[in-house]
């Protein structure tokens, strides 16, 4: 046993004796024996410079802070991309030697050591900026406050509470809302970020490092993640458990077996986990993999399959949308999933209900897909299905009808519709869309506020929004409204009077004409609403535009053939001032390789959202496409590109990385 191991052993032994003496009132050794062990520990700490946070020699107390200061992370603490497929993990491991490591379920934490002393601890935060929690580190159970390494050392790891400790603590602890903590992750997050470290001292918080950002680079094996983790262990850190995968072509069976071994180890140690991490061993190879704005590309997080919870479906609610489709939502007995109470999930359409044979009263299995979206996975009581289509709209009581449409993969999907254009729910949802950020962008008009204004008769048409000032005194008298809130609302309405072709067209809500199609039309018609109107009222063939099919062409002409729509189109423009296309784009299109070209983007991009890349293509004078055809000039390819990349290769269409695209437009 080396000196650091001896110190760790003595700390554990002395703490057990202290607990027996102070808490159990049942001493296990004499005071003289305790003092001898204490002196031995103190001597070893002096010789090695290694001191644990829970050492009996550290009895100076804890120092609270008044607030948590912000900490900038020079090296971003990004996450990893996620998968639920062992095949994807296996493919990653085949590229280079790697480590399979427990994905601890806690709070990612960074520690900084200078001259052998802990000088700063911080949370991950958003990856760029975290919060300083140095004051709580002395209250951890296993963090070295002093180490026998004198150079700068920066490590990242996970702060967590063991499962058995959490089960004991949760019976007596409540959160800021007075409710019991639902999982160990929430408890540790609140604990280490508390202003008083004495709270942390009572909650058995541990830390396990999983990466070295700076330091331990003196040895000939400094490029090895595994070697640096081994050196951390020698320095007294309780490193995160891992398995090294070194073969050039590991099998799925080997990977699955290794994952099972790690899960078993987590269970044995009572540590909370929510998956397994696969990450390359070589730091230099990891760096060559690059990163996105969200995650590093040198690894993958293997997430366990979504857990399913049994409950009882109590009701199916039907709500009309702005286009008249009546959307079903399942209401079931509340279940707790990943610390959240869930009692509702979308049932999508009538076909989904029929396929699962859902009726109120049946037992169902619920999951949170990708830990985000509640979803009904299965019906455990099939065979009881009966027609549950509402005969009347739940809002306006008009008769309903069933529509059938064919999906791109050939399936027939049935939906329930209300065809009453005066249905209050449809009208409310249309107003909600009109004031939304992608449309007229009027802040402060929530769904509840719109509903009140409609009920009170303040709104009958979109134009009425721009004359709400005539109801100023009435609005000020409403609950929740005061002088300031009214002025904020009226200022937002006034600001929205200055708009552009794209926002106005989105606000008109022509079926299938969203932001991307509106931007294309803005480009084609040079931001001129009159020219677009003439084309839509006339016989212009919109299918000549990239990605404008027969259905979309029909939707545009049909919308403009409706007198009420045409009247709205003309009258609403009288309330508004329109920026020119040049003002909207903010610059002239300069000569570039993409002018006049059809460009398709696929996969996950680092610098652009899907709307963002389409906007950039339009600004360059190009045409953003959604599918690869012979007319496609370029394919911009991000991560996880699928069939579009294969199609482009078959057609010999130039394929660009995002970096190549940026270089070409620089």
DSSP H helical ranges for 436-476: 447-455, 472-476
Q: How far is CA 309 from CA 274, 335, 431, in A?
A: 17, 7, 37
Torsion sign over Cα 512, 517, 519, 525: negative
In order of 21, 27, 30, 202, 409, the CA distances from 17 in angstroms are 6, 7, 10, 18, 69
User: How far lies 113's CA from each of 50, 121, 411, in Å?
Assistant: 12, 9, 60
The token pair that represents 649 in the structure block? 């290769």
Sort strands 412-418 and 577-578 into parallel, antiparallel or unpaired.
Answer: unpaired
Contact 474, 467 (CB under 8 A): no
Dist CA 518 CA 615 (whole Å): 11
Pure H helices in 497-603: 501-508, 515-524, 529-537, 550-561, 563-573, 581-585
Active site amino acids:
103
CA-to-CA separations, 294 to 607, 611, 663, in angstroms, rounded:
10, 17, 22
Task: Look up residue 329 and give its two tokens.
Answer: 């939502």
Burial class (CB in 10 A: 0-12, 13-18, 19+), 440: buried
Dist. CA 19–CA 25, nearest whole Å: 8
DSSP class per residue in 119-188: EEEEE-TTSSEEEB-GGGGGGSSS-EEE-S--S-EEEEEEEEE-HHHHHHHTTT-B-TTSPBP-SHHHHH
Here the tokens at position 488 are 């904020």
φ, ψ (nearest 5 deg) of residue 81: -65, 160
Residues with Cβ < 8 Å from 476, sequence gap 6 or more?
A: 482, 483, 486
Q: CB under 8 Å to 362, separation ≥6 — which residues?
A: 312, 313, 379, 380, 381, 382, 384
Residue 219 CA to chain centroid, in angstroms? 39
Q: Is 247 exposed, middle or buried (0-12, 13-18, 19+ CB in 10 A)?
A: exposed
Contacts of 457 (CB under 8 A, 6+ apart): none
């Amino acid at each position: 046993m080396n000196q650091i191991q001896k110190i760790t052993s003595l700390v554990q032994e002395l703490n057990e004796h202290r607990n027996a003496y102070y808490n159990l009132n049942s001493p296990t050794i004499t005071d003289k024996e305790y003092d001898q062990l204490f002196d031995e520990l103190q001597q070893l700490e002096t010789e090695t410079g290694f001191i644990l946070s829970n050492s009996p020699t550290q009895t100076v107390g804890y120092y609270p802070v008044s607030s948590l200061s912000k900490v900038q992370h020079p090296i971003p603490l990004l996450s990893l991309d996620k998968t639920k497929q062992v095949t994807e993990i296996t493919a990653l491991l085949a590229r280079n030697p790697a480590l399979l490591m427990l994905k601890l379920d806690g709070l990612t934490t960074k520690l900084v050591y200078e001259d052998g002393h802990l000088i700063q601890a911080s949370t991950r935060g958003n990856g760029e900026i975290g919060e300083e929690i140095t004051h709580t580190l002395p209250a951890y159970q296993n963090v070295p406050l002093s180490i026998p390494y004198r150079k700068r050392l920066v490590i990242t790891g996970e702060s967590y509470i063991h499962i058995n400790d959490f089960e004991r603590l949760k019976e007596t602890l409540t959160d800021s809302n007075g409710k019991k903590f639902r999982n160990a992750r929430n408890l540790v997050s609140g604990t280490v970020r508390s202003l008083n470290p004495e709270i942390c001292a009572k909650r058995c918080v541990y830390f396990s490092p999983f990466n070295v950002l700076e330091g331990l680079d003196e040895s000939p094996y400094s490029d090895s993640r595994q070697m640096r983790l081994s050196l951390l262990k020698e320095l007294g850190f309780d490193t995160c458990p891992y398995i090294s995968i070194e073969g050039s072509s590991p099998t799925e069976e080997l990977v699955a077996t290794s994952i099972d071994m790690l899960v078993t180890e987590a269970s044995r140690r009572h540590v909370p986990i929510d998956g397994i991490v696969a990450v390359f061993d070589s730091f230099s190879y990891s760096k060559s993999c690059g990163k996105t704005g969200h995650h590093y590309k040198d690894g993958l997080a293997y997430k366990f399959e979504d857990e399913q919870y049994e409950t009882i479906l109590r009701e199916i609610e039907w709500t009309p949308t702005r286009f008249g489709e009546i959307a079903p939502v399942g209401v079931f007995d509340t279940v707790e999933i990943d610390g959240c109470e869930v009692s509702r999930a979308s049932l999508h359409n009538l076909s989904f209900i029929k396929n699962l044979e859902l009726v109120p009263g049946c037992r169902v299995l619920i999951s949170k897909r990708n830990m985000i979206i509640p979803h009904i996975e299965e019906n455990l009581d099939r065979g009881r299905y009966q027609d549950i289509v509402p005969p009347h709209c739940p809002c306006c009581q008009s008769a309903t009808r069933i529509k059938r449409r064919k999906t791109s993969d050939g399936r027939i999907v049935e939906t329930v519709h209300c065809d009453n254009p005066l249905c209050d729910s449809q009208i409310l949802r249309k107003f909600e869309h009109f004031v939304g950020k992608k449309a007229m962008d009027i802040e402060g008009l929530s769904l509840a506020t719109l509903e009140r204004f409609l009920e009170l008769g303040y709104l009958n048409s979109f134009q009425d929004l721009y004359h709400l000032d005539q109801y100023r005194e009435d609005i000020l008298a409403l609950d929740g409204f005061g002088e300031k809130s009214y002025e904020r609302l009226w200022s937002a309405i006034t600001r929205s009077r200055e708009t552009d072709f794209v926002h106005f067209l989105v606000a008109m809500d022509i079926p299938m004409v969203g932001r991307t199609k509106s931007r294309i039309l803005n480009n084609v018609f040079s931001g001129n609403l009159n020219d677009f109107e003439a084309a839509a009222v006339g016989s212009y063939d919109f299918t000549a535009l990239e990605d404008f099919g027969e259905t979309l062409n029909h939707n545009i002409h049909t919308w403009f053939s409706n007198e009420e729509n045409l009247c709205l189109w003309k009258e609403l423009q009288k309330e508004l001032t329109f920026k020119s296309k040049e003002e909207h784009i903010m610059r002239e299109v300069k000569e570039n390789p993409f002018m006049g070209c059809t460009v398709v983007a696929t996969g996950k991009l680092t610098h652009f959202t899907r709307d963002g890349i389409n906007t950039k293509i339009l600004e360059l004078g190009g045409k953003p496409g959604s599918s690869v055809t012979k007319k496609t000039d370029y394919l911009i390819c991000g991560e996880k590109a699928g069939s579009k990349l294969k199609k482009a290769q078959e057609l010999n269409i130039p394929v660009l990385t995002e970096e190549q695209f940026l270089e070409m437009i620089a």
